[in-house]
């Protein structure tokens, strides 16, 4: 993201989540102006769920940083009872308008603050690009809070971009992760059970899919 856009959105290291509301409040049900809005499930997640269809019967799922809501709807189609949250109130309202007949519980909440009532509550947790959308100084807190959502014997599926360079505030957003994120999640009691990566030639980084189990 260039400096002009950073200033327009008011991206500040000490106010790490405020800019999401600015972004979504200026968008619409077509996701206009939201750079990561596929208006469909993320393709890497879609490929994975197609290979693991109907795994959600009788299980709960949580979508972190749900954005426009398409990933949550895909989980609902696969049998999960889904909760999806975003820090932006406007994003949540757009989800509710887009999916009027869905039973997904779309909720405004802040991952950085943690949601204690969701501790070890969900059988399946989905995180796509959320950690890298927040400044690097908050990485440890974000990883801990995400790991806390996973129920005993539950799973966490992550899709993230990974770089070799050191994470610094000046280089984002997005602030791509380093490969150390895998060990960080394992330090919070999760075990990596599936991993795949592909090289992104246009970006010069790697796209990772990682599945952890508690």
Tell me the pTM. 0.95
Does the pLDDT at position 200 exceed 70?
Answer: no
Q: Over 85-145, what HEC string results?
A: EECCHHHHHHHHHHCCCCCCEEEECCCCCCCHHHCCCEEEEEEECCHHHCCHHHHHHHHHH
Region of poorest pLDDT, from 24-28, 65-69, 203-207:
203-207
Region of poorest pLDDT, from 85-99, 100-114, 141-155, 189-203:
189-203
Residue 144, token pair as written in the block: 């801990």
Backbone torsions φ then ψ of 197, nearest 5 degrees: -145, 155
Residue ranges of domains in the chain: 3-30+38-213
Does the pLDDT at position 28 exceed 80?
Answer: yes
Residue 110, token pair as written in the block: 């802040």
Tell me, what's the pLDDT at 23? 93
CATH of domain 3-30+38-213: 3.40.50.150
Residue 154, token pair as written in the block: 């539950």
C-alpha–C-alpha distance, residues 163 and 110, integer Å: 26
C-alpha–C-alpha distance, residues 66 and 95, integer Å: 9
Tell me, what's the pLDDT at 179? 95
């Amino acid at each position: 993201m260039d400096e002009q856009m950073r200033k327009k959105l008011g991206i500040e290291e000490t106010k790490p989540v405020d800019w999401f509301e600015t972004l979504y409040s200026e968008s619409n049900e077509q996701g206009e102006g939201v750079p990561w809005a596929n208006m469909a499930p993320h393709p890497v997640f879609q490929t994975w769920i197609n290979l693991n269809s109907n795994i959600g019967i009788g299980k709960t799922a949580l979508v972190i940083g749900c954005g426009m809501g398409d990933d949550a709807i895909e989980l609902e189609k696969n049998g999960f009872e889904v909760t999806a949250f975003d820090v932006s109130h406007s994003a949540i309202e757009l989800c509710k308008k887009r999916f009027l007949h869905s039973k997904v519980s779309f909720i405004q909440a802040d991952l950085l603050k943690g949601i204690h009532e969701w501790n070890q509550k969900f059988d399946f947790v989905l995180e796509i690009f959320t950690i890298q959308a927040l400044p690097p100084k908050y990485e440890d807190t974000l990883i801990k809070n995400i790991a806390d959502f996973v129920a005993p014997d539950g799973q966490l599926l992550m899709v993230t971009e990974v770089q070799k360079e050191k994470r610094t505030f000046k280089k984002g957003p997005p602030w791509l992760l380093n490969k150390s994120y895998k060990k960080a999640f394992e330090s919070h009691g999760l075990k990596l059970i599936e991993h795949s990566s592909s090289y992104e030639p246009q970006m010069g980084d790697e796209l990772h899919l990682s599945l952890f189990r508690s």
